Amino acid sequence: MLNTETAIRKILIANRGEIALRILRGCRELGIGTIAVYSDADRAALHVLEADEAYRLGPAPATDSYLRGDLILDIARRAGAQAIHPGYGFLSENAGFAEACEQAGIKFIGPSASAMRVLGSKTRARQAADAAGMPRTPGSVKGLVSLDEAFIVAEEIGYPVMLKAAAGGGGKGMRAVFTRDELGVAFTAAGSEAERAFGSDEVYLEKLIERPRHIEIQILADEHGNCVSLGERECSVQRRHQKVIEEAPSAFVDEDLRRRMGEAAVRLAKSAGYTNAGTVEFLVDEKRNFYFLEMNTRLQVEHPVTELVTGLDLVQLQIRIAQGEALPFKQDEIRLRGHAMECRVYAEDPDQGFFPSPGKITRLLQPGGPGIREDSGIYEGWVVPLEYDPMLSKLIAYAPTRDTAIARLLRALDEYVIGGIRSNLGLFRRILSDADFQASRIDTGYLDRLLSSKDDSAQADKDSEAIATLAAAIFESMRPSNGNGGNHTAKQSEDNAWKRTARREGLRL
Amino acid sequence: MKIQIEICDELHTIELERGEAAGQYRASIDGASSVDVEVHLVKPGVLSLHLAGKAYRCVLEESTEGAAIHLAGKRHPYRVDDPRSLKSRRSRHAGADGPKSVTAPMPGRVVRVLASLGDTVDAHQSIVVIEAMKMQNELKSPKAGKVVQLRATPGSTVAAGDVLAVVE
């Protein structure tokens, strides 16, 4: 079935961090060669260490390295890659880059540039949703031409409303508007924020769904007209519109809703001639009405939870689709089994307003054992660069039930130590221990409510504090500089510090 | 040996006495009765600690900011209280009085300055917004008072530890 002319023997991975490593592993299992690319900030990164070949792109800023499609294509050509996997972020949703790959005769592992253009713009995707007969939030399907038009649309659908950037993502260019008086200011602010972030000030209006759940459908489409849905992921635990915990399946979705959402997602993908892996995002209200939100035309960060409950390898299926194979299964062969949950581990400090915390990882103990998967790109001694997204790893648990998946994550979090930089591991302990989360009483506002409530989990435990104090004292007593004949350099720097202190205090040495 | 450790904002005095066998200690915290502790350094920074029939995994974290012990999923930052060091003496005497600075916790770029020189600000009021790791972060006033120095200008890059404002 596989045409040897289209067979992929070598793939360039146009990304970094955990996803570059994830793709590399998928390739290696298929016997496909891997090419890593890296910026100056990533010479010591794991994906560079593990790849079969690795090439420098340029200086640290993404615009000089991971966003340089021209350099990446050039490397792919010279190194003899048949395909480029873009991962997520960077060039993954850049239709211009997908087109350049097509023209260079190198397969872009993802949808065609034309399908990406239809579904990548939120307003055009809303038009496609209408054409595919799928429910979406009430509101405009084109960019608003004026504030007057915004007032008319808002009046029509009723407040509260959401202003959104057509080219948007990650919450940028987005404003909730609760009354008529707020619309003018919000309209200008959303437009200029969108212009700055995406180079387009096109904004549109939609009805604000109160207390929605964020539930998305994973689809796979081959190049022979077959398209299947792989069930849903719930990603309602969010902060600043960024997902924090994702799970599959959703505790809120029953068999009937899953089928209806899946069919709607497949209809949309087929209507746009979509191929490869994609995700259709929905908001679901308390009455289980679902509304199309947007489509992500790439592999998602949270794809592992779908892999675990379906038993499929999405990266490998992406590659097989890209080399022209037909999907090896039909919709009725897809079975969901068990429950999977993912924590996005970030280099940020939850105690200091989630301030990013790049720097050297001086200590790393990673969890393992039954049902635990950790997709990471870090190691002890690695310096987390400040130029990129601060995600360190994804901690994923798989178990027969949701309760056991939570218990597994809590157990793994106890094993996990990331030292030298701050991380949000403690935040997960708090969420996973929360009664509302455990009962799946969640919506996209859940985490903000939890964070504004008092944190009982941080209550001082005198016993463990005493043990920690004792351990600190024992570690200090082991330091060579404290004992006899200590480490020379440590001793010297201590002497210098002593001298500096003395000088500052006007003592004479 | 006597060691003073400041952990979770409390100062403790630990008396440590090595036992006969390797890894054996007699320890007492803040003058309480001594206990027997047995430890083994599994690898650098990872200590297996046995005390009163219980076993603990204590992990030492060190960075430029200081040290901490990770125990059962919790992080306990600590500082060795060295009576010779100026810093410990200062921090022991420093209260809410006196000027306090807003410093950049990491390298980045100043996006916005939200206060003006001479402004009266509340504790935790945002003073400067810096962008780092593609995120905008608000730096807040460490105390209520008056902005007596303002060194941040929008668009400028800052290094970790740079003083951006002083509130008195």
* pLDDT per position as a tens digit, A292-314: 999 999 999 999 999 999 999 99
Q: How far apart are CA A38 and CA B159, in angstroms?
A: 25
Which of B80, B109, B133 should one mutate to test binding to chain A, selecting the residue with the greatest count of A CBs within 10 A? B133
A181, two tokens = 């008086």
Q: Which residue of B has its CA nearest to A504?
A: B86
Q: What is the mean pLDDT of chain B?
A: 85
3-state helix, strand, coil split of chain B in percent (to 5) is 5, 60, 40
Q: Taking residues A63-90, what's their average pLDDT?
A: 97
Rg (CA), chain B: 21
A492, two tokens = 């010297």
A217, two tokens = 């459908």
A356: nearest CB among B46, B60, B132: B132
pLDDT of A492 above 60 = no
- How is residue A51 annotated by DSSP? S
List phi, psi (to 5°) of B123.
-60, 140
Q: Which of A175, A298, A408, A430 is catalytic?
A: A298
Q: What is the mean pLDDT of chain A?
A: 91
Q: How confident is the model at residue A448 (pLDDT cuts 50, 70, 90)?
A: very high
pLDDT of A178 above 80 = yes
pLDDT of A493 above 50 = no
End-to-end CA distance of chain B: 41
Min distance B137 CA to chain A CA atoms (Å):
6
Contact B133 A468 (CB under 8 A): no
> Which of helix, strand or coil describes residue A489?
helix
User: What count of other Cβ atoms lies within 10 Å of the Cβ of residue A309?
Assistant: 22
Q: Does residue A22 carry a catalytic annotation?
A: no
pLDDT of A242 above 50 = yes
User: What pLDDT does residue B123 have?
Assistant: 82
pLDDT of A343 above 70 = yes
Angle, alpha carbons A220-A226-A230 (nearest 5°): 35
Strand arrangement of the beta sheet that strand A213-221 belongs to: A290-296, A276-284, A213-221, A227-239, A242-248, A339-346, A391-399, A372-376
User: What pLDDT does residue B85 have?
Assistant: 53
User: What pLDDT does residue A226 have?
Assistant: 98
pLDDT of A483 above 50 = no
pLDDT of A405 above 90 = yes
Number of A:B CB contacts under 8 A? 151
Q: How confident is the model at residue A148 (pLDDT cuts 50, 70, 90)?
A: very high
Min distance B38 CA to chain A CA atoms (Å):
11
Q: How far apart are CA A421 and CA B61, in angstroms?
A: 9
Is A285 buried (19+), middle (13-18) or exposed (0-12) by CB count in 10 A? middle
> Which of helix, strand or coil describes residue A312?
coil
Strand A227-239, strand A242-248: pairing:
antiparallel
User: What pLDDT does residue A272 have?
Assistant: 94
User: What pLDDT does residue A481 have?
Assistant: 58
B63: nearest CB among A352, A359, A466: A359
pLDDT of A324 above 90 = yes
B63: nearest CB among A414, A420, A426: A420
Q: Which residue of A has its CA nearest to B41?
A: A475
Which amino acid is residue B60, in one-letter code? L
Contact B12 A469 (CB under 8 A): yes
User: What pLDDT does residue A170 have?
Assistant: 67
Contact A464 B39 (CB under 8 A): no
Q: Taking residues A318-344, what's their average pLDDT?
A: 98
Rg (CA), chain A: 25
pLDDT of A243 above 50 = yes
Q: How far is CA A395 from the centre of its chain?
A: 12
Q: How far apart are CA A129 and CA A274, in angstroms?
A: 13
Tell me the pLDDT tens digit for each residue of B92-103.
444 456 788 888
Q: How confident is the model at residue B157 (pLDDT cuts 50, 70, 90)?
A: confident
Contact B51 A470 (CB under 8 A): yes
Contact A471 B60 (CB under 8 A): yes
Q: Taking residues A218-240, what's their average pLDDT?
A: 97
> Which of helix, strand or coil describes residue A367?
coil
Length of chain A equals: 509
List phi, psi (to 5°) of A484.
-85, 145
Query: Which residues, in sequence order, are CB contacts of B165 under 8 Å at separation 6+?
Result: B101, B102, B115, B127, B128, B141, B147, B149, B150, B151, B152
A395, two tokens = 């901690």
Q: Which domains does chain B have, with CATH numbers?
A: 2-89 (3.30.700.30), 100-167 (2.40.50.100)
Cβ contacts of A467 on chain B, cutoff 8 Å: 49, 51, 56, 58, 71
pLDDT of A91 above 60 = yes
User: What pLDDT does residue A183 have?
Assistant: 93
Tell me the pLDDT tens digit for each residue of A185-197.
999 989 888 888 8
pLDDT of A98 above 60 = yes
User: What pLDDT does residue B92 have?
Assistant: 46
Tell me the pLDDT tens digit for each residue of B46-104.
999 999 999 999 999 998 878 999 999 899 999 998 655 545 444 444 445 678 888 88
Q: Bridge-partner residues for A139, per DSSP?
A: A206
Tell me the pLDDT tens digit for each residue of A344-375.
999 999 888 888 888 999 999 999 999 999 99
Q: Taking residues A443-464, what's their average pLDDT?
A: 85
Angle, alpha carbons A410-A414-A416 (nearest 5°): 110
Which amino acid is residue A422, in one-letter code? R
Q: How confident is the model at residue A458 (pLDDT cuts 50, 70, 90)?
A: low
- How is residue A327 annotated by DSSP? P
Min distance B66 CA to chain A CA atoms (Å):
9
User: What pLDDT does residue B35 have?
Assistant: 95
CA distances from residue A53 to A33, A35, A280, A478 in whole angstroms, order as listed: 8, 5, 34, 43
User: What count of other Cβ atoms lies within 10 Å of the Cβ of residue B90?
Assistant: 9
Task: Tell me which residue of B49, B48, B22 sits closest to B35, measured CA to CA.
Answer: B49
- How is residue A488 annotated by DSSP? H
Q: Taking residues A431-436, what's their average pLDDT?
A: 97
